[in-house]
């Protein structure tokens, strides 16, 4: 999937542009420094929020509605991208797919196979869904106009994440979870 340049298109390109834009030229404040940083964060956010989305293929591809990540950057972050992919394949459809199939998706299917292409499509849907969540929570939320507004959005986003995942598991819960999966 990441063996060549990666492109965000349409609405997702616009969202990535907004997420990586300099919000205050005096202080050089940005939510994300690089497009690759959005790519590394978005699939996890998409998974946590259960949000998947399809590529926006509407309209013509122009400089304004495409955002690229070059192969060199992807190659430098290959281990993190691969880790995210494997994590998502292990967790996606956890309740309906047996562990053996999830292991196949994460580690065994070979590049170019129809199964691996289907897995890449699922992974990309989480990337795009995660971008939508990041944009909603960090930019659209409360119509930020100052750095303080953006920082408040970041704070609320982290608080929401914490509340969503605050469930404390006992050792017995962990063991039962492993045995039942």
Domain with 15, as residue range(s), is: 6-180
Give a yes or no: residue 147 inside a domain.
Answer: yes
134 belongs to a structural domain: yes
Give the count of domains, the chain.
1
In a domain, 1, yes or no: no
Task: For residue 161, list its beta bridge partners.
Answer: none
For residue 123, the model assigns a pLDDT of 97
Q: What is the mean pLDDT of residues 157-168?
A: 78
3-state secondary structure of 6: strand
Pick 130 or 25 by higher pLDDT: 130
Helix ranges, the chain (H): 10-20, 35-48, 71-76, 78-91, 99-103, 114-135, 147-164, 171-180
pLDDT at residue 111, as a whole number: 87
Q: What is the mean pLDDT of residues 161-181?
A: 67
- The whole-number pLDDT of residue 47 equals 93
- Residue 62 confidence (pLDDT): 64
Q: What is the pLDDT of residue 142?
A: 67
Give φ, ψ of 32 to 5 degrees. Answer: -130, 135
Side-chain half-sphere of 61: how many Cα atoms within 13 Å? 9
pLDDT tens, position by position, 55-102: 887 766 666 678 899 999 999 999 999 999 999 999 999 889 999 999
Distance CA(130)–CA(37), nearest Å, equals 12
Q: What is the pLDDT of residue 103?
A: 93
Q: What is the pLDDT of residue 1?
A: 72
> How far is residue 109's CA from residue 28's CA, in Å, rounded to a whole number?
43
Asked if residue 160 belongs to a domain, the reply is yes
Percentage of the chain modeled with pLDDT above 70: 87
pLDDT exceeds cutoff 60 at 117: yes
Determine, yes or no, domain membership for 120: yes
HEC sequence for 16-36:
HHHHHCEEECCCCEECCCCHH
136 belongs to a structural domain:
yes
């Amino acid at each position: 999937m990441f063996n060549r340049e990666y492109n965000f298109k349409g609405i997702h390109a616009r969202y990535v542009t907004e997420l990586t834009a300099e919000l205050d030229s005096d202080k050089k404040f940005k939510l994300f420094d690089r497009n690759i940083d959005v790519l590394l964060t978005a699939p996890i956010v998409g998974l946590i929020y259960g949000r998947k989305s399809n590529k926006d293929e509407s309209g013509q591809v122009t400089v304004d509605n495409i955002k690229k990540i070059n192969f060199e950057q992807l190659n430098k972050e290959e281990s993190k991208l691969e880790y995210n992919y494997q994590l998502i394949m292990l967790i996606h459809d956890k309740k309906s797919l047996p562990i053996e199939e999830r292991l196949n998706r994460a580690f065994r299917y070979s590049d170019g196979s129809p199964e691996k292409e289907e897995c890449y499509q699922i992974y990309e849907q989480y990337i795009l869904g995660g971008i939508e969540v990041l944009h909603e929570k960090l930019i659209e939320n409360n119509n930020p106009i100052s750095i303080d507004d953006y920082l408040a959005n970041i704070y609320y986003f982290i608080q929401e994440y914490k509340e969503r995942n605050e469930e404390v598991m006992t050792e017995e819960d962990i063991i039962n979870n492993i045995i039942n999966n």
